[in-house]
Amino acid sequence: MRVVLTFDVEVWCNGWDTLDADFPQAFSRYVYGRSRAGEYALPRTLEILRRHALKAVFFVEPLFAARFGERYLQTVVALIREADQEVQFHLHPEWADEIVPSPLPDIPGKRQHLCYYSLDEQCRLIELGRNMLEQALGHPPTAFRAGSFAANRHTYIALAANGIWQDSSIDATRPYSLADMREFWDVCNTSVIHGVEAYPLTVFRDGFGRLRHAQLGACSTAELIQAMNDAHRLDWSHFVVLSHNFEMLKPRSSEPDRIAARRFEQFCAFLARNRDRYQVGSFGSTLPEAAAPVVPIRMPRLEAQTALPQTRMAATGRRYAEQALRRLGWV
């Protein structure tokens, strides 16, 4: 089974009213995460991957640089590429109305999710971001992830029109992710949508039977390992894990989140010890035959689907305990 560690790389100013004043500090926090303990944003992430000899996919959001300057995007891309990691394309359209000149005609203001944009608007925004990332990379990106996993059918048509043939924009735990197709489409397994290979974020059932996506900052290490082992038992082709460039930082701070950092370290160590079982890296170039394009059929509600990886109660209880320690400020 192929395991894909994915990182959404973003820069936010925690508001839109004072962007110019807030951006320098925001860029420093989200990209470097400097504190007396070290640099726990991208540098620490890349160092842990290097130490365990693991490859990951970094989905970099470029539109913020259309507002503040492409040199900032080049800095982020160079940092990742110097660590010999893969850079791909992430898009948060919330930046669209902050760009001058506007990439969209008559844009009225903020629209958070890509699925709120028309096909033509999605084509324009994807083209802009792709071109920016291509300039920073020296070659075009080949894979995409919509911000907040807010893709719809138009997204895949727009990706194909822009020559991007791999995507990881589906999260079955978010109701707006592929909302216009999920009644007739398997949103948990690999598939082909309008010619684009789709690799959903992995979803599993926790110890209470509740749906949970595989995110390093939102699952205990035991949950991730048990879900991955069960996906392997179910003969899944891919196990896609989510994290962010800032996930090892405490909220609104550059101080490290020790629990998140320990989870990442432990998970990477497990993958390094089990290279014979799990192939860690990119999505790969082809899907298995079972995921070839088919005529969509009516799918059962996600809650009723049984063929999902599962974890045990103890692993989920560990997550609740860690969350309690966080809230109490004991870590």
Structure tokens at 115: 């699925």
251 and 299 Cβ atoms separated by less than 8 Å: no
pLDDT for position 296: 55
What pLDDT sits at residue 290? 43
Q: What pTM did the predictor assign?
A: 0.95
CA-wise closest residue to 318 among 266, 279, 269: 266
> Residue 81: left (phi > 0), alpha (psi -120 to 50), or beta?
alpha
Please give the share of the chain, as a percent, with pLDDT higher than 70.
92
How many other β-carbons are positioned within 10 Å of the β-carbon of residue 78?
Answer: 13
Which CATH code fits 2-328? 3.20.20.370
Q: Which residues of the chain have pLDDT under 70?
A: 285-306, 330-331
Q: Per the structure block, which two tokens stand in for 63?
A: 């539109």
Question: Any idea where the domains of the chain sit in the sequence?
Answer: 2-328
Apex 94 CA angle, 88 and 95, nearest 5: 75
Residue type, 289: E
Q: Give the strand pairing for 166-167 and 196-198.
A: parallel
Cα–Cα distance measured from residue 307 to residue 211, given in angstroms and rounded to the nearest whole number: 12
Half-sphere exposure of 329 (CA within 13 A, CB side): 0
**Cis amide prior to 105 (ω within 30 degrees):** no
Please give the pLDDT value at position 299.
Answer: 56
Q: How far apart are CA 307 and CA 90, in angstroms?
A: 29
> Tell me, what DSSP letter sits at residue 249?
B
Environment class of 99 (CB within 10 Å of its CB; exposed 0-12, middle 13-18, buried 19+): middle
